[in-house]
Structure 1
Amino acid sequence: MSKINFRASVTYLIILVIYTCATLSAQAQHFYFTGNKSKDAIGFDLVKNLIIVPLYLNGKGPFNFILDTGVGPLIITDAALIDSVGINIARSIKISGLGKGDEIDAFLSNDLSAKIGDAHIDHIPTAILKNDIFGLSNYLGTRIYGLLGYYFFNSFIVEVKYSTKRLLFSDPGAKIKIKGEGIPIVIDSYKPYIKINIESPEHGKLDLKTLVDNGASHALSLERLNEQPFPVPANTIPGNLGVGMSGPIDGNIGRVSLLKIGDYTLKNVLVSYPKYDDVAAKILLKNRNGNLGADVLSRFNIVFDYSRNFMYLKRNSQFNRPFDHDMSGIELYADDDGKTNRYLVSRIEPGSPAQQADIQVDDEILLINFVPVSSYKLNELNNLLKSVDGKTIILYLQRNKEQLVKVFKLKRRI
């Protein structure tokens, strides 16, 4: 059930869907305001650094969608919406994607209307996955129906205020005051790219091109360097980096000493190194080195202006928070059986404190440090498990019909 980072697989889906949907309709596809309105603002939820917004489809909803600069078409991960909102299917396709496994089925539509705040769009290109392979609802602990990306960002000047969880969006011609350092972006295949600089003991200083991807919860993922797999440093730990279209994606987790974006410098940044054969070798990633994710982007308030090829960064109160990886070795998911806050173990990292304490996959957590887990949201529980190096954790578990107590200490492993 681990669904930490599904970005690379979504990229493959986008490449296919964009060109297929383009043949279905010649109509302009932009969000628009009616009447004299030129700007709007809504609140959003922030879970694992991912932005969750309410979206209406064909006049019904709201449905929770992740707002994601890394996707092009509207992606629906819950196929039940086909019937509940009345989606007309244009055709079906099979996708052979990333990871280890079989092809998956998806449907395409170009006859769906959407609304966010007071902004509307008609005939938005849409891909509907027949089966929810990503398990976003389980991963985030709240019901998620899909992802909204390019067509929203391309329609407006979009300001993401991570500090106050507010989303402001304005027509490109509206008079607004933009604050922050301007960073040039390049829109390629419906997604924004920027130049960054990193520094590490192994490679010294490197200039890299990365996708700006606020729909990926990691900090930085490095895939290619000089047309070869990005070299993995010696000081890393193995990790499950998520799930692709065709199964799990393995890799390693390490750090770089410095990450520089414009005049901003971040230190000791976590980096994912996905296994090359599972990711970069399977899709068209030759024009980029990696992926800049939400664990970095959420440290800023950001303005995206696709019409002028710029994004603007202004550091917020979270800028100096440390980059911490899970210190327990436990990956959790919220069980989708109608029960409130029921959390089970989806994966145990090899060599972690949890493995040494004999915690196992499918164990259900009942109490943590003598507090019922029903009092926690999944996001809060995950934050607790990466909170303080050396902190003692006492878990009361249900394993089949047996109840067990397990004790271990959190350990910073990277």
Structure 2
Amino acid sequence: MLILKKILLFFALIFLFESSYSQSRYQFYGKEDVKQKLPFKLINNLIVIPVQVNGQDLSFILDTGVNKTILFNLSDKDSIGLNQVRRIKLKGLGNGKPVHALISKNNNFRVSKIVNYNEDLYVILREDLNFSAKMGVAIHGIIGYNLLKDVIVKINYKTKTLTFYNPKKYEVKPCRKCETFDLKFFRNKPYINTAIQLDTIGEKLTDTKLLIDSGGSDALWLFEETKEDIKTPKKFFNDILGEGLSGTIYGNRSKVPKFVLGKYVIKEPTVSFLDTTTTVNARVFKDRNGSIGGAILRRFKVWLDYPNKKVVFKKNSSLKKGFYYNMSGLIVVYDGQQLIKEEEQVAVKNPFGLSSSSELTSDSDVFSFVSKFSYNFKPLFKIQEVIEGSPAHEVGLLKDDVITKINGKSAHLYTLDEINGMFVLEPNLKVTLEIERDGIPYKYKFKLKRRI
């Protein structure tokens, strides 16, 4: 999927300038020390959970692709006290230079009723790293290994719930319909063995070792040149895949015939073949061939068992659904709030007892319907980018157009995730957009179209 430009895909961070060896640990507390259940938001295939940091309630992405806890984009309302702070530099994906950051030690973290009183926190000092606009909700940071190493977690993408189990009290239940894999860790990131059919001719499968990356919204990443068979198919399109910690990520988008996850066969998943230069840090683990992202993970119920180095998959009802890229050519972002006038019909008692067709009567009273108006702040969405040659581009939609209605429904009644989700439903689906450009309203119609 092209939506959100995959900014959140690229936090497989390599810390070149700082290593931390603190003995921080998450522990269950209270009477419910066997398991804790936590609802999450699923946005663009990413898991967003509430995390309390030094007493402040924040929102983090649960990301198996990161080995450090990272904080960014705090507003004045979200400001928190940080302990034992000093400056460092970090290097991640992208072709830019290392970025300035802070490391803060001995912070108090709480996830549900699981606490850590000695968490290291890395604070990114990049003002342009604004995930909230791309997600449509406030995103303050990402958390991964530091939490997951101390728990066993079941991710239920259908019910949007996480269940954290205490490893000391967890009992493994037999599951004949499940598939269990051994986890191999490199720099505290989990890898499993899979297989991919890359050629449309024949049934040859190529063995691959992939990172489990719940912080990636794509289905698959593959790294060319890590194996002879891994190369971009003939049908592809080049694209900016997103922004990493150290700059822009480039690559080719395509599809492959088949992805094999144990006994599960997933047909025609979307794949991004990443540019070698901007992903050099992701290739430090020489055995790695790519990643499995949220577009595949969400088709399963997943048990992550870091303490015992296991992961378990059980398919859900979405396993056989198709994979599509953004077929509109639009990149839509949240752009703050706007004041909307809303009308509501309210029944009021008629003191004169007169009745009309627009009035409601009871045995003793007569009520009239009147319009009540209120002004409320609602989300504002705008077009950040229009891909050249796309259906949206061909009908005349432009960058910075403000979206007012989608298929006849006011845009503010949707979430950003719902809007982006419309563009990956199915080919030939009709979309009607009403927009404002320099204060003038326009209306456009187009059909979603496959790019490959």
TM-score (norm 1): 0.91
Counterpart pick for 1:57 among 34, 41, 53: 53
Shift in CA distance, 372/79, structure 1 to aligned 2, threshold 3 Å: closer
Question: Within 1, Cα distance between the matches of 2:226 and 2:274?
Answer: 16
Q: Which residue does the alignment assign to 2:449?
A: 411
Counterpart pick for 1:186 among 184, 187, 196: 184
SS in 1 for 2:211: strand
Question: Within 1, Cα distance between the matches of 2:111 and 2:28?
Answer: 10
Shift in CA distance, 124/412, structure 1 to aligned 2, threshold 3 Å: same
Give the number of the structure whose alpha-carbon radius of gyration is greater: 2
SS in 2 for 1:336: strand
Aligned 8 A contact 2:226 2:288 in 1 = no
Most deviating of 370-379 and 332-341: 332-341
2:17 is the alignment partner of 1:33: no
SS in 1 for 2:268: strand
Q: Which residue does the alignment assign to 1:331?
A: 331
Aligned 8 A contact 2:206 2:229 in 1 = no
Question: Within 1, Cα distance between the matches of 2:226 and 2:62?
Answer: 32
Matched AA of 1:308: N
Q: Which residue does the alignment assign to 2:404?
A: 366
Question: Within 1, Cα distance between the matches of 2:420 and 2:3?
Answer: 13
Alignment of 1:134-283 (within 5 A): 134-178=129-173, 179=175, 180-201=178-199, 204-226=204-226, 230-280=230-280
2:403 is the alignment partner of 1:354: no
**Shift in Å at residue 45 of structure 1?**
1.2
Alignment of 1:285-296 (within 5 A): 285-296=285-296
Aligned 8 A contact 1:64 1:146 in 2 = yes
Aligned 8 A contact 1:3 1:136 in 2 = no
Deviations 1:280-325 (A, max 9, x none): 3776253311111010011100111111111011001221221121
**Shift in Å at residue 380 of structure 1?**
0.9
Aligned 8 A contact 2:211 2:292 in 1 = yes
**Shift in Å at residue 403 of structure 1?**
2.6
Matched AA of 1:332: V
Shift in CA distance, 177/9, structure 1 to aligned 2, threshold 3 Å: closer
Deviations 1:242-272 (A, max 9, x none): 1112332222211111101111110011001
Deviations 1:321-376 (A, max 9, x none): 21121110111111135752211112222321112122222111111222210111
Question: Within 1, Cα distance between the matches of 2:446 and 2:9?
Answer: 34
SS in 2 for 1:341: strand
Shift in CA distance, 240/206, structure 1 to aligned 2, threshold 3 Å: same
Question: Within 2, Cα distance between the matches of 1:229 and 1:346?
Answer: 36
Aligned 8 A contact 2:73 2:129 in 1 = no
Most deviating of 311-320 and 134-143: 134-143
**Shift in Å at residue 82 of structure 1?**
11
Q: Which residue does the alignment assign to 1:67?
A: 62
Shift in CA distance, 8/407, structure 1 to aligned 2, threshold 3 Å: closer
Question: Within 1, Cα distance between the matches of 2:305 and 2:132?
Answer: 30
**Shift in Å at residue 388 of structure 1?**
2.9
**Shift in Å at residue 402 of structure 1?**
3.1
Shift in CA distance, 110/150, structure 1 to aligned 2, threshold 3 Å: same
Aligned-residue identity in percent = 29
Deviations 1:391-414 (A, max 9, x none): 222222222333322222111222
2:70 is the alignment partner of 1:48: no
Most deviating of 305-314 and 389-398: 389-398
TM-score (norm 2): 0.84
Aligned length: 407
Most deviating of 104-113 and 261-270: 104-113
Question: Within 2, Cα distance between the matches of 1:35 and 1:281?
Answer: 41
**Shift in Å at residue 35 of structure 1?**
4.8
Counterpart pick for 2:81 among 80, 86, 95: 86
Q: Which residue does the alignment assign to 2:343?
A: none
Matched AA of 1:153: L
Aligned 8 A contact 1:88 1:112 in 2 = yes
Shift in CA distance, 230/80, structure 1 to aligned 2, threshold 3 Å: farther
Counterpart pick for 2:106 among 104, 111, 127: 111
Question: Within 1, Cα distance between the matches of 2:95 and 2:437?
Answer: 29
Q: Which residue does the alignment assign to 2:368?
A: none
Question: Within 1, Cα distance between the matches of 2:307 and 2:90?
Answer: 32
Question: Within 2, Cα distance between the matches of 1:189 and 1:81?
Answer: 34
**Shift in Å at residue 52 of structure 1?**
0.9
Question: Within 2, Cα distance between the matches of 1:44 and 1:238?
Answer: 33
**Shift in Å at residue 3 of structure 1?**
4.2
Shift in CA distance, 405/89, structure 1 to aligned 2, threshold 3 Å: farther
Runs of 5+ unmatched residues, structure 2:
339-376
Q: Which residue does the alignment assign to 1:284?
A: 284
Aligned 8 A contact 1:158 1:170 in 2 = yes
Q: Which residue does the alignment assign to 2:20?
A: 21
Runs of 5+ unmatched residues, structure 1:
none
Matched AA of 1:245: L
Question: Within 2, Cα distance between the matches of 1:281 and 1:32?
Answer: 32
Deviations 1:60-89 (A, max 9, x none): 21x111111111111112244898221124
Question: Within 1, Cα distance between the matches of 2:83 and 2:97?
Answer: 26
